[in-house]
Amino acid sequence: MKLIAMTLASLSLLTSSTAQATEARDDVRAVAPALEKYKQDILFGDLWKRPGLNPRDRSIVTLAALITRNQTAEMPNYLNLALDNGVKPSEISEIITHLAFYAGWGNAMAATTLAKAAFAARNITADQLPPASPNLLPLNEAAEADRAKRVGDLFGAVFPGVVQYTTDVLFLDLWLRPGLAPRDRSLVTVGALVASGQVAQLTGHVNIGMNNGLTQTEIGEALTHLAFYVGWPNVFSAMPVAKEAFEKRPQP
């Protein structure tokens, strides 16, 4: 299917973005004219323009949501929009790599096929991608020691494999890759957690995110944005958890 998916992706490049947008609008008009109105008035007429989270960050959150939910049909448009909104190709590469671990390996694989087509259409070449093994960002050793001890105490005896990989692959490697700022990795992670309904992990990642520079306003706007892209129920499950994380956070 990989070959076919690639062929389809290549074929889709024969049509311009404008033509694609027209086709999508025609689909909507032939089925649900109200969706076209909501799209013009609310989604792109209001949501994407709200202050509190800039369009680049909204694109990052949207890609995180689509990749986490494996929604390949929408990805080409939103990959293009992300590039238009200033998300760098190297950052898209790292978002996909990050989500291999936070959404699942297959989600990342499906996204690479579509990102390859989006990159090719803009003549984005391999030298614009992050290397496989870059020099890593410096580690916050105290915070990592604390995290590793906490997780190790809880799960080390029963799930040694998960605990080891969490340290070695995620926190000593993935999170330290310099191609995506830690603050942006947190935005991706929060998006993935809300998109997959895994709000139990949200408390920890709201705190990591705010340590990494995300503001409460930005997280609040990310959830507002996600309501449209992952559905209201996921966001209503996330809000009480995020709110409690905000309230319990030590005042600066």
Structure token digits, residue 17:
């973005």
The nearest distance, CB 29 to a copy of itself, in angstroms, is 7
The nearest distance, CB 54 to a copy of itself, in angstroms, is 14
Between CA 175 and CA 173 the distance in angstroms is 6
The nearest distance, CB 17 to a copy of itself, in angstroms, is 10
Between CA 94 and CA 101 the distance in angstroms is 11
Nearer to a copy of itself, 56 or 228 (CB): 228
For 44, which DSSP code? T
Nearer to a copy of itself, 20 or 211 (CB): 20
Nearer to a copy of itself, 15 or 145 (CB): 15
Q: Encode 143-174 in three state secondary structure.
A: HHHHHHHHHHHHHCCCCHHHHHHHHHHHHCCH
Does residue 74 sit in helix, strand or coil? coil
What are the Cα distances from residue 173, in Å, to 26, 98, 160, 235? 45, 11, 18, 30
Nearer to a copy of itself, 145 or 169 (CB): 169
The nearest distance, CB 221 to a copy of itself, in angstroms, is 6
Nearer to a copy of itself, 101 or 186 (CB): 101
The nearest distance, CB 81 to a copy of itself, in angstroms, is 13
The nearest distance, CB 213 to a copy of itself, in angstroms, is 19
Nearer to a copy of itself, 55 or 197 (CB): 197
The nearest distance, CB 21 to a copy of itself, in angstroms, is 9
Nearer to a copy of itself, 132 or 142 (CB): 132
- The 8 Å CB, 24+ separation contacts for 223-229 are 223/194, 224/47, 224/50, 225/47, 225/53, 225/58, 225/61, 225/62, 226/61, 226/65, 226/191, 226/194, 226/195, 228/42, 228/43, 228/47, 229/61, 229/62, 229/65, 229/66, 229/195
